[in-house]
Structure 1
Amino acid sequence: MITFENLVVRFGEFTALPDFSLQIEEGEFFTLLGPSGCGKSTALRTLAGFTEPASGRVLVDGKDVTSLPSDQRGIGMVFQNYALFPSMSVRENIAFGLKVARRPKAEIDERVRAIASEVALTPAQLDKGVAELSGGQQQRVAIARALVMRPRILLLDEPLSNLDAQLRGQLRIQLKELQQQFGITSIYVTHDQDEAMSMSDRIAVLNQGRVEQVGTPQEIYERSATEFVCTFIGSVNRLRDESVQTLASYPGTPVQAGRSSYARVERFVLQDRGQPSEGLHVLDGVVERVDYHGYFTQYAVRVQGDPLTVRVPYHPSAATFVVGDEVAVGIAPRDVLQYERTQSVVTA
């Protein structure tokens, strides 16, 4: 178990983490998610021992490691730029930590061979220079170098951000499989929502150094605890006050008038005008743009003078619309997310 306890981290006059508390369970794949500059990498580096907090504590299995040197914490780390040694072979890069630890040569050779096999690096690739490898292969080398030390905790700081979209998708799956295979507590830092949602057991959403919400991907998405989480995760439309008042008048509705209200773009129903719409609040609109993505089509619809985004998943029988079509857009009260009004400006 990892515990951040009232952690304060400052860089000069700037406070990166004003009062950071978080608990991560053993064996979890846990993600710190948030926009650039929110403090997620600072939290990771403080756990690793690379950044010293002004106050607060970091505990691992109940032991205070706040002042412990980084090489004594049993933590492996994979950096965004991989931090590989360009003058060394792949084999030498993976073996580096074991050599520093003065392990016997036979043990080093066996552990390097075994971990290389686990991360799909071939014997031939072990004797190449790292510059000869693709970005995905270099990423595997960085992971192997961390795992060969058999750490209790693995930290990954945006390790896929330098790769193309297709390779990122492949390596997400492999990373998660490796984590499950080794059972290592893993903390992953990213600003990519898709990575966080698809890989994590739990997610902490950070904003300006503070934890907005901790939960499973489903909890974060479907029951966003704050307005920031709601608007940061996925795509939403902000509802007009008139629509909120109408939804609040439905019998048994959870919707309350006078609150900031949103609905995710895929929760709207798009249909021809005049079709049955039981249980939905329906507004007439006109299609202004159609974006086809294969597994879904996204429509920009002008409703009561305002733009509204509606995402329709692919289905062979799904109705399709073109620019200029007059349509009806419906939303159910149960799909509305509501928050106390704030002074923050939120994009619809």
Structure 2
Amino acid sequence: MITYKNIDVVFDDFHALPGFNLTIEAGEFFTLLGPSGCGKSTALRTLAGFIDPTAGDVYVDGARVTHLPSQRRQIGMVFQNYALFPTMTVRENIAFGLKVSGVSKAETTRRVDEIANAVELDSVQLGKGVTELSGGQQQRVAIARALVLRPKILLLDEPLSNLDAKLRHQLRGQLKELQEQFGITTVYVTHDQDEALTMSTRIAVMNKGRIEQVGTPQEVYMRSATEFVCNFIGDVNRLAAGTVAALSAYPYGTRGTAPLNPASPSYVRVEKVGLHAPAGNAYDGGARLTLPGTVRSRQYHGVYSSYRVELDVRDGGVAKGIIQESGHPGFAPGDRVDVSIDPADVLQYPAANAQEPVQTLQEQTLQAPIPAGASR
């Protein structure tokens, strides 16, 4: 459906996209994810026709659109600030593109009413000025204005970033439902990993203009291809040297996978770590290594509590565990606990390409599973 082929984008002496290649399939909700300045918005705007690449080509449905004017690409776009006309009513904002395109008044009215109903804007709201609407309602107006033109592709450039956390969470689901309802190929730009994981069919994680990994949310989260992706996606823990050494010596450590290398940067996802009352046994069902430690602090978050645990193993670092409050007595500072890890769940990366630790040695953490009902 969409293909970037050897795209270069250069601004003066800054190489924003060096040799960018990517294919997005029809009907996907595809997310470009990465930190600020990684090139994700540049890639989106190149597809939209707002940026001319220095080299390479962009294809849509097999047709080369590299230098085609944006209005001829059958692409709808929703910007971060929505770019609505403050002097127009909601109806006029949604109808603007149809009016410019010469669509008849009767057809415009029909299509505006149809799309307004789809995004849950009622007749009263259609008659209001956009400044009278809430942030969430304005976002729906921007989406309706893009969809009413019946584009092949919908581009969304961080459309939720200006909303409060509660509304952002609510509108994620609505956006995804709309995309599925219309079956429209959608390219979404965000720096929010949670948005990417919950909404996407596939994700491209970007860093300094390059794609580090493309895959389903589960693939990039559970099988992060690079150390950058591992650190950027989700809650991850860099294991201290003593913990890695203990895991590499564990007799069940291979379990059909390559043995752990104590010298390699090593990480484990929060869901793969257990925090328990002491059992006095280093073997957890034959698959997990148990490391004893002492609770140093507790923070109460309502649904769950987080704990900092100093591990007994030499150079083992500090473990941070999260436990759901409901049905659990909890731990107090000074309590003895066990932290358990399956060596097969450890993600390792080449030592030669090691990045700086996410935390200092004193702050290195292991994190226990977040139970159902808890949030990160």
- Normalising by structure 2, report the TM-score: 0.89
Looking at structure 1, the residues matched to 49 and 101 of structure 2 have their Cα atoms a distance apart, in angstroms, of 18
Please name the residue that 2:81 is paired with: 81
Please name the residue that 2:306 is paired with: 298
Structure 2 residue aligned with 1:265, among 266, 270, 273?
A: 270
> Deviation digits for residues 108-131 of structure 1, max 9, x if unmatched?
010001100100001011110000
Evaluate the alpha carbon distance shift between residue 198 and residue 344 of structure 1 in structure 2; reply closer, same or farther with a 3 A threshold. same
Evaluate the alpha carbon distance shift between residue 22 and residue 294 of structure 1 in structure 2; reply closer, same or farther with a 3 A threshold. farther
Would the aligned equivalents of 2:197 and 2:217 in 1 still touch at CA under 8 Å? yes
Establish whether residue 323 from structure 1 lines up as the match of residue 333 from structure 2.
yes
Would the aligned equivalents of 2:268 and 2:346 in 1 still touch at CA under 8 Å? yes
- Kindly report the root-mean-square deviation, in angstroms, between the aligned alpha carbons of the 2 structures: 1.6
Once the 2 structures are TM-superposed, how far is the Cα of residue 337 of structure 1 from its aligned partner? 0.7
Matched ranges for 1:48-197 at <5 A: 48-197=48-197
Looking at structure 2, the residues matched to 191 and 170 of structure 1 have their Cα atoms a distance apart, in angstroms, of 18
Would the aligned equivalents of 1:266 and 1:310 in 2 still touch at CA under 8 Å? no
- SS for the counterpart of 1:234 is coil
Once the 2 structures are TM-superposed, how far is the Cα of residue 11 of structure 1 from its aligned partner? 1.1
Once the 2 structures are TM-superposed, how far is the Cα of residue 142 of structure 1 from its aligned partner? 0.2
Once the 2 structures are TM-superposed, how far is the Cα of residue 343 of structure 1 from its aligned partner? 4.2
Once the 2 structures are TM-superposed, how far is the Cα of residue 170 of structure 1 from its aligned partner? 1.1
Please name the residue that 1:308 is paired with: 319
Q: What letter corresponds to residue 344 of structure 1 in structure 2?
A: Q
Once the 2 structures are TM-superposed, how far is the Cα of residue 315 of structure 1 from its aligned partner? 7.2
Looking at structure 2, the residues matched to 225 and 322 of structure 1 have their Cα atoms a distance apart, in angstroms, of 38
- SS for the counterpart of 1:26 is coil
Looking at structure 1, the residues matched to 165 and 212 of structure 2 have their Cα atoms a distance apart, in angstroms, of 28
Once the 2 structures are TM-superposed, how far is the Cα of residue 68 of structure 1 from its aligned partner? 0.3
- SS for the counterpart of 1:219 is helix
Give unpaired runs (5+ residues) of structure 2: 360-376
Looking at structure 2, the residues matched to 234 and 227 of structure 1 have their Cα atoms a distance apart, in angstroms, of 13
- SS for the counterpart of 2:58 is strand
- SS for the counterpart of 2:228 is helix
Once the 2 structures are TM-superposed, how far is the Cα of residue 317 of structure 1 from its aligned partner? 4.2
Give unpaired runs (5+ residues) of structure 1: none
Looking at structure 1, the residues matched to 8 and 298 of structure 2 have their Cα atoms a distance apart, in angstroms, of 47
Looking at structure 1, the residues matched to 117 and 156 of structure 2 have their Cα atoms a distance apart, in angstroms, of 20
User: Which stretch shows the higher mean deviation, 321-330 or 15-24?
Assistant: 321-330
Q: What letter corresponds to residue 261 of structure 1 in structure 2?
A: S
Please name the residue that 1:256 is paired with: 260
Please name the residue that 1:239 is paired with: 239
Would the aligned equivalents of 1:265 and 1:309 in 2 still touch at CA under 8 Å? no
Looking at structure 1, the residues matched to 152 and 270 of structure 2 have their Cα atoms a distance apart, in angstroms, of 40
Would the aligned equivalents of 2:297 and 2:309 in 1 still touch at CA under 8 Å? yes
Q: What letter corresponds to residue 264 of structure 2 in structure 1?
A: R
Would the aligned equivalents of 2:158 and 2:190 in 1 still touch at CA under 8 Å? yes
Aligned residues: 347
Would the aligned equivalents of 2:267 and 2:348 in 1 still touch at CA under 8 Å? yes
Looking at structure 1, the residues matched to 301 and 111 of structure 2 have their Cα atoms a distance apart, in angstroms, of 44
Looking at structure 1, the residues matched to 308 and 337 of structure 2 have their Cα atoms a distance apart, in angstroms, of 11
- Normalising by structure 1, report the TM-score: 0.95
